[in-house]
Chain A
Amino acid sequence: MIQFQEVQKVFGNRKKTVHALKGINFRVESGEIFGLLGPNGAGKTTALRILSTLLQPTSGEAHVGGFHTVRDSREVRKQIGFLSSDMNLSGNLSARDYITFFGRLNHIPEVSLKKRVESLLEYFDMKDYADRKVATYSTGMKQKTLISIALVHEPSIVVFDEPTNGLDVMTAKLVLDSLRELRQQGKTVVLSTHQMDVAQKMCDRLAIIDHGEVKAMGTLDEILSSSGSKDLEEAFFAVVKEDAQ
């Protein structure tokens, strides 16, 4: 279970400050896919970075699986697999090298690690280029490698920030299918996106974030009925427009 309580995040210095999150609250239950939907700059990535312990909240608290994201950051990181839109791979190592390295960092025994790496390469259809340098990969190949890295230690919580950004249709489908499969395995998935169709198809529950605030939260039906909209896109614009006024 994930819980955000009055989480605020302020960036900047004395001269200029940006309130990226203005005291947001949400709760994600185990085994569900929870989506953070919002325009660029809404605060989605900041929220996920706090969740993955890369950032500390300015005030408020976040808990992951009962662990505090600041005080028990290593315990939190043990439980999550994190993929961010600003992650990249470069250098002379291959996908196999990278996945194996992160598996070892997560203390997976060598025998099971080898099997795990092979199954990830198989699942994401990466075998043909698994031993090539990542510097030669396309965006899709890199994204599949990053997802494999995030999943190598079989985390109970998966946190993906814009996982289908810049991907072709086939790769995007493969990524979304993998998220559904993770849910079937009982894992919790937190997903940020600005793509309505992805949010509508994938998420059990959603939170619409704009200007650092949660504007609407609930199941798709709950959001549609509370905003009086026919679909998520209409609901989203209704919420964001209301905020702009």
Chain B
Amino acid sequence: MKDTFLILKKEFQNIFKDRRTLFSVFVLPVVLFIVIFTVIGRMTSAEEQKLQTTQYKIFTDQPLLLDAVLEDAGFDFMFVDQPPDSFETALQNREIDGVVLFGELPSNDPSEAFSSFLEKDSPSISVYIYSGSSLSERLGSMLWNALRDDRDQHLRDQLAQAGMDQTILERPLVQTINVATEKEQASGILGGMLPYMLVIYLFSASFAIGFDTTAGEKERQTLTILLSNQVSRTSIAWGKILYIMSMNLISATVSVIAFSIGFSRMIPQSTNIFVAFSPQLVLFLFLCTLSMSVLVAAIIAVVGVFSKTMKEATSYSMPLYIVVLIFGIASLQPEAFQDATGLFFVPLINGIITLKKLFTTPGLPVLGISMTILINLTVSFLLVMLAARMFSDERFVFRTEN
């Protein structure tokens, strides 16, 4: 055990003297996430401001009528006098933002324009927009709301004239009430993203650091010194695996915290996602991530000892990474893995599912978490034994390109 910690300490001593690695593990994710989300947040609010303050260019065959409809619509607009040769081209070229066609009206009196329009046999309004432009798309939505409001007002007037109750239009009153607490809403956001993020960071940190300390040492011919000393192969295997595990845990934790801070900066008015972290949840989250981290480290160690070079090790691991990533991406779906009990028995994948359930199901999935930890740690232990045997086996230790 003492030798294991000596090896772990030496690896840490080595990495902590490498400023570039420290920067990429601890500083870069924090800076990157905060910068990315701040920029996205700023761009989104700038776009929102632009949409609110812009003057929309509209062509219509009935400017007086549309002017009356949009009187209280709450956005600035101007009418284009000349009809474009082609609506499609003009919209695509962003010369105009929308086209509203009513057709001919029975009356030219602006005060009666809309009612006379509705008295036509089959009144219809064509609204042309171009969804490739956010301005045009936004205008389409605002036009639709304004025209619908005008139509509803007209119906109310007609009901009033007929002496009928105007509230008939609001029956039944449909309301959507979200019963989720602030904490549950925050959990929903995290349950979608956290498993995916953790999987990425557990692997990405391991690839660089894990393969460097196994296949990289073989490649650089530095492993022989360690193997020719009296330290046991099991201690070497555990030392390396603990090191990989610690680094991927640190990397994943730093990245998740940086992501959460960055995300909350992007949408400061949204739900406070930090309320999801109750002490119990943090404990289970840590245990589940720990079991995944040990397993990833053990897999990386076995692949690293087997491979001749870091390049070879990376190519061997890529299929597994892609499979795990697919499950991570699938977990972004809110309803994913609802009935996937069988997947609890699949090492590593079970961690993704448990993390999702941890955030998205009421109460704590204690059985699922226990199974995940037990299965992942058992498989990790077997892989560590395998790695230790491989460190003793000349077929793997001296399997180099040199």
Which residues on A are within 8 Å of B, measured CB to CB?
A: 52-56, 74, 77-78, 80, 82, 84, 86-93, 97, 101-102, 104-106, 133, 146, 149
Tell me whether B228 and A52 are in contact (CB under 8 A): yes
| Further 7 A-B residue pairs, CB within 8 A, beyond A77-B229, A89-B225, A90-B222 | A74-B230, A77-B228, A77-B230, A101-B6, A101-B10, A101-B13, A102-B229
Tell me whether B17 and A78 are in contact (CB under 8 A): no
Which residue on A lies nearest to B216, using beta carbons? A90
A77 to B230, CA, bound (A): 5
Q: Please tell me if B224 contacts chain A, counting CB pairs below 8 Å.
A: yes
Give which listed residue, A74, A93, A102, contacts B17 with CB less than 8 A: A93
Tell me whether B14 and A91 are in contact (CB under 8 A): yes
- Residues on A with beta carbons closer than 8 Å to the beta carbon of B17: 92-93, 133
A47 to B78, CA, bound (A): 92
Chain B nearest CB from A213 CB (Å) reads: 22
Which residues on B are within 8 Å of A, measured CB to CB?
A: 3, 6-7, 10, 13-15, 17-18, 220-222, 224-225, 227-232, 394, 397-398, 402
Tell me whether A87 and B225 are in contact (CB under 8 A): yes
Tell me whether A105 and B6 are in contact (CB under 8 A): yes
- Residues on B with beta carbons closer than 8 Å to the beta carbon of A102: 225, 229
Which residue on A lies nearest to B217, using beta carbons? A90
Tell me whether B222 and A106 are in contact (CB under 8 A): no
Closest 4 CB pairs of A and B: A92-B17, A82-B228, A88-B221, A77-B230
A–B complex contacts, Cβ < 8 Å, 18 sampled: A52-B228, A53-B228, A54-B394, A54-B398, A55-B394, A55-B398, A74-B232, A86-B221, A86-B224, A87-B224, A87-B225, A88-B222, A91-B14, A92-B14, A92-B18, A93-B10, A97-B10, A105-B3
- Residues on B with beta carbons closer than 8 Å to the beta carbon of A104: 6
Tell me whether A89 and B224 are in contact (CB under 8 A): no
Chain B nearest CB from A72 CB (Å) reads: 11
Tell me whether A89 and B231 are in contact (CB under 8 A): no
A88 in contact with B220 given A101-B6, A105-B3 (CB within 8 Å): yes
Which residue on B lies nearest to A13, using beta carbons? B395
A105 to B222, CA, bound (A): 16
- Residues on A with beta carbons closer than 8 Å to the beta carbon of B228: 52-54, 77, 80, 82, 84
Which residue on B lies nearest to A56, using beta carbons? B394
- Residues on B with beta carbons closer than 8 Å to the beta carbon of A90: 220, 222
Chain B nearest CB from A143 CB (Å) reads: 12
Which residue on B lies nearest to A97, using beta carbons? B13
Give which listed residue, A55, A56, A105, A149, contacts B230 with CB less than 8 A: A105
A97 to B228, CA, bound (A): 18
Chain B nearest CB from A106 CB (Å) reads: 6
- Residues on A with beta carbons closer than 8 Å to the beta carbon of B402: 86
Give which listed residue, A91, A105, A133, contacts B229 with CB less than 8 A: A105
Which residue on B lies nearest to A149, using beta carbons? B225
A84 to B10, CA, bound (A): 22
Chain A nearest CB from B7 CB (Å) reads: 8
Which residue on B lies nearest to A101, using beta carbons? B10
- Residues on A with beta carbons closer than 8 Å to the beta carbon of B225: 87, 89, 102, 146, 149
A149 to B18, CA, bound (A): 22
- Residues on A with beta carbons closer than 8 Å to the beta carbon of B232: 74
A97 to B11, CA, bound (A): 11
A52 to B17, CA, bound (A): 31
Tell me whether B397 and A54 are in contact (CB under 8 A): yes
A97 to B17, CA, bound (A): 12
A82 to B228, CA, bound (A): 7
Which residue on B lies nearest to A75, using beta carbons? B230
Which of A55, A92, A104, A149 counts the most B-chain CB atoms under 10 A from its CB? A92
- Residues on A with beta carbons closer than 8 Å to the beta carbon of B220: 88, 90
Chain B nearest CB from A32 CB (Å) reads: 22
A1 to B231, CA, bound (A): 22
Chain B nearest CB from A2 CB (Å) reads: 15
- Residues on A with beta carbons closer than 8 Å to the beta carbon of B15: 92
Which of A78, A89, A91 counts the most B-chain CB atoms under 10 A from its CB? A91
Chain B nearest CB from A225 CB (Å) reads: 37
A18 to B394, CA, bound (A): 15
Chain A nearest CB from B295 CB (Å) reads: 27
Chain A nearest CB from B244 CB (Å) reads: 16
Chain B nearest CB from A229 CB (Å) reads: 35
- Residues on B with beta carbons closer than 8 Å to the beta carbon of A93: 10, 13-14, 17
Which residue on A lies nearest to B10, using beta carbons? A101
- Residues on B with beta carbons closer than 8 Å to the beta carbon of A82: 228
Which residue on B lies nearest to A152, using beta carbons? B229
Tell me whether B13 and A106 are in contact (CB under 8 A): no
Which residue on B lies nearest to A80, using beta carbons? B228
A106 in contact with B394 given A54-B224, A86-B402, A93-B14 (CB within 8 Å): no
- Residues on A with beta carbons closer than 8 Å to the beta carbon of B227: 54
A90 to B221, CA, bound (A): 9
A149 to B7, CA, bound (A): 15
A87 to B397, CA, bound (A): 13
- Residues on A with beta carbons closer than 8 Å to the beta carbon of B221: 86-88
Tell me whether B14 and A84 are in contact (CB under 8 A): no
A146 to B229, CA, bound (A): 12
Chain B nearest CB from A107 CB (Å) reads: 8
A133 to B232, CA, bound (A): 27
Which of B6, B225, B232 counts the most A-chain CB atoms under 10 A from its CB? B225
- Residues on A with beta carbons closer than 8 Å to the beta carbon of B18: 91-92
Which residue on A lies nearest to B3, using beta carbons? A105
Which residue on B lies nearest to A52, using beta carbons? B228
